[in-house]
Amino acid sequence: MRIPVSWLSDYVAIEMPLEELASRLSVASAEVEGIERIGLAPDPANDLLRVGRVLELAAHPNADRLRIARVELGEGAPRSIVCGAMNFEAGASVAVALPGAVLADGARLERRTVRGELSDGMILAEDELGLGADHSGIMLLAEAEPGTPLADVLLLSDTVLILEATGNRPDLQSVYGVAREIAALYGQPLAPMPGGAVGATAAERRLAIAVDEPGRCPRYIGRLLEGVTVSPSPQWLRFRLQAAGVRPISNVVDVTNYVMLALGSPLHAFDFATLHGGEIVVRLAGSGERLTTLDGVVRELDGDDLVIADRDRAIALAGIMGGAETEIAADTRAVLLEAANFEPTTIFRSSERHRLRSEASGRWEKGVDPRLAEAAAELASGMLLELAGGHASAAADVHAPLPELPRVAFRPARADALIGLETPAERQYALLEALGFERSGEAVVVPSWRARDVTREVDVIEEIARFRLDDVPFTLPARREMYGSLRREQRLRRRLEDALVGLGFAEVYTPSLRPDGETPWILPDPISVELSALRTSLLPSLVEAAQRNLDAGARGIALFEIARVYLPGGELPEERLRLGAIAESGFLAIKVALESIHAALKGEPPSLERAAAPLLHPGKSARGASGLIGELHPSLLEGMWGAFELDLADLFALVTDPVVYLDVISYPAVRQDIALVVDEQVPVGELLAVAREAAGEELRELRVFDVYRGGQVEPGRKSVALALSYQSAVRTLSEEDANRLRDRIVALAGERVGARLRSA
């Protein structure tokens, strides 16, 4: 939320440096994301901005779209100024910049000749002073003495706090709520809430208002103001709204927005003449009912949508947006002002269903104090009567008994114990009182604007704690006890990450969302077209990350990510944790990385078989027990790339845990090399599995050191050379033992895969 400091100053004195204020608010209340200065920069030349009164207007003799104004500035003789705006006549009070003044864009004004006529100054539009974006006409000021410094009648600059309140603090989505926090933080007096003079705009005649859903609309206040005149708002109101990030529209609409920002209670204004039967009904939408909202969209309403209706039709989506048929127009003469309270869940569901967000819905969803409605109605009614004229002719306030204010037991000693700092009991109660809490014996009464989030003693203690955070010493508490340990999956994951980093891989984090079409899990309300569906694989995201690094000029790229994928599995996706990796290397290099991972996890060496995958080279990809590995398809990235994607649950299932020590030093190993000839289609991994099965535990090491195809091997066959290492934990193996184990391997390989021992 954007909070203009000049607006805050209406309710609490802002005498401290703004940087200090932002820091204290960020610690105690809500994050201040920035401080923005708007309007004119401080400059001595701002004294050359004055109030002028137009005495005469004449057509420019050399230009059809220009006029020459004679403007009185309290100098004795009027000045002649050329102006192109057509929205004023003689007698208007205007803002004038004299030669030498500096405008919002930094340009210094000079006396100059325009189409042959001297222009001794400039009559200003609001954008030329940085007070808004409007350049359709010049600013028209309230009546003031000609020559009065413009700064005396108009705020020429302001500072804005950009504040982000947490979801449990809807009271901080108002200027007065932030002022209340500042007053408590600095121990300063807080001005009474605007609109507190309840009954100041009351009317004797009762409006016809019915609330059919009191559980969804606990309170509905209506005020009928007749004889109003819709016109542009005065400049101070326009500037204040624009500083807060709201576009000015007209005096009636601007007042509703102003009160919402000031107090945090959204309002709405209807053109009373457009209401059928002159009545209001708060009800659920009917079957097939439609409503054209202010944004011009025709919306098919749901039976769970709460609507504001007249005798015949829905006229607003309650708490979210009004209807186009009853909006305030230039010829509106009677305004029905709505100040209500809506149940948060109802508003949230409708807002999500219609994909329609507004300043009002964002506040209702967090929960607005029902007692604010009356103050908001009073403030808005008073401002409308002042700015739009007319009179209050009818009113109604429909509500069940308002909820009692919560009483929470509170012990100052308990607060000291939890916070770790001693705070005198009277100071604790004083802090709570500044925040609106009342002392009641051994309990405190929670103010209505905090009733939703302060429900327990610890919540009250938190209110004390956040005002003592600056006093907490920067020390670590003594650690006396420690419980717990890592789960098996956590230990293995850390070992896996360390192994990958040791291999030269860098960890990346990529979005879990992918473009539509790559996955069946489509989001109903996507962030963007590129992020519209849950991913089923990590490799596409890693390919994009590698491409970005290539584009940035990086080389020797090796990336990995551990994240969830979302697989088809029924009504909801099946979530699986996977490891994906990509590196500038071929198949053999990425296979070495895979084998190193298995070794680091103390698992069995990977057993692979040919497979196909969408992103991998069709002839250089394989599947193991835990996932896919292969060379990336050459069309995806420039160069040669290897990649794999493994399911962590399947990978960890291959790990021996705990690791058992095997004696490898007491007795020497016997080494042999053999070559087995098999059909070309026989996977080498299958041959290795047969060898391990045949030799049993005495086969300590096994690796392939050559694959030969040539003249000494018949066509369609290949020779696979194996390095064997035999070792026993109980005795020294002899050459005869080695030959016996070799013969068992050859025999079983011949039986299983048709292998024969190559003799030459």
pLDDT tens for residues 203-240?
A: 668 899 999 999 999 999 999 999 999 999 988 898 89
Angular region, 116: left φ>0, alpha ψ -120 to 50, beta rest: left
Q: Reply yes or no on whether the pLDDT at 434 is more than 70.
A: yes
Average pLDDT over residues 515-527: 78
Task: Say yes or no: domain 1-167 is CATH 2.40.50.140.
Answer: yes
pLDDT confidence of residue 204: 67
79 — pLDDT class (breaks 50, 70, 90): very high
- The span from the first CA to the last CA of the chain, in angstroms, equals 83
Domain borders along the chain are 1-167, 205-399, 422-471, 488-653, 670-757
* H or E element at residue 695: helix 684-695
pLDDT confidence of residue 197: 55
CA torsion 554-585-637-681 (nearest 10°) is -170
Average pLDDT over residues 329-349: 95
480 — pLDDT class (breaks 50, 70, 90): confident
Q: What is the pLDDT of residues 252-308, one digit of tens each?
A: 999 999 999 999 999 999 999 999 999 999 999 998 899 999 999 999 999 999 999
Average pLDDT over residues 584-598: 90
**Distance (Å, whole) CA 526 – CA 512:** 12
Q: Does the pTM exceed 0.85?
A: no
196 — pLDDT class (breaks 50, 70, 90): low
Listing DSSP states for 701-731 in one string gives EEEEEEEE-STTS-TTEEEEEEEEEE--SSS
CATH no. of 488-653: 3.30.930.10
| Segment among 177-181, 307-311, 401-405, 744-748 with least mean pLDDT | 401-405
Dihedral of alpha carbons 284, 287, 292, 298, sign:
positive
pLDDT confidence of residue 203: 63
Task: Say yes or no: domain 205-399 is CATH 3.50.40.10.
Answer: yes
Q: Which of 149, 134, 143, 157 is nearest to 85 (CA)?
A: 134
Q: Are 318 and 349 in contact (CB under 8 A)?
A: no
179 — pLDDT class (breaks 50, 70, 90): very high
* H or E element at residue 664: none
199 — pLDDT class (breaks 50, 70, 90): low
Average pLDDT over residues 709-722: 91
Average pLDDT over residues 405-426: 93
Per-residue H/E/C for 132-196: CCCCCCCCEECCCCCCCEHHHHCCCEEEEEEEECCCCCHHHCCHHHHHHHHHHHHCCCCCCCCCC
518 — pLDDT class (breaks 50, 70, 90): low
Listing DSSP states for 381-406 in one string gives HHHHHHHH--EEEEEEEEESPPPPPP
Q: How many CB atoms lie within 10 A of CB 124?
A: 24
**Distance (Å, whole) CA 591 – CA 210:** 74
Please give the structure tokens belonging to residue 461.
């203690």
Q: Which of 287, 277, 352 is nearest to 319 (CA)?
A: 352
Q: Which of 411, 413, 417, 427 is nearest to 467 (CA)?
A: 427
The number of CA neighbours under 13 Å toward the Cβ of 728 is 10
Q: Are 311 and 305 in contact (CB under 8 A)?
A: no
Q: Are 34 and 141 in contact (CB under 8 A)?
A: no
Q: Reply yes or no on whether the pLDDT at 142 is more than 90.
A: no
> Which residues touch 197 (CB under 8 Å, ≥6 apart)?
378, 382
pLDDT confidence of residue 711: 84
Q: Reply yes or no on whether the pLDDT at 391 is more than 90.
A: yes
| Segment among 101-105, 253-257, 495-499, 642-646 with least mean pLDDT | 101-105
131 — pLDDT class (breaks 50, 70, 90): confident
Please give the structure tokens belonging to residue 637.
């990235």
483 — pLDDT class (breaks 50, 70, 90): confident
Higher-pLDDT residue of 565 and 659 is 565
Average pLDDT over residues 457-480: 85
- Neighbouring-strand partners of residue 723: 673, 703
**Which CATH class name applies to 670-757?**
alpha beta
C-alpha to C-alpha distances, 524 to 243, 354, 514, nearest whole angstrom:
34, 11, 14
81 — pLDDT class (breaks 50, 70, 90): very high
Higher-pLDDT residue of 661 and 493 is 493
Tokens 């932002």 label which residue? 22
| Segment among 187-201, 240-254, 574-588, 656-670 with least mean pLDDT | 187-201
**Distance (Å, whole) CA 586 – CA 649:** 26
| Segment among 368-382, 408-422, 651-665 with least mean pLDDT | 651-665
Higher-pLDDT residue of 134 and 303 is 303
Higher-pLDDT residue of 472 and 542 is 542
| Percent of the chain topping pLDDT 90 | 73
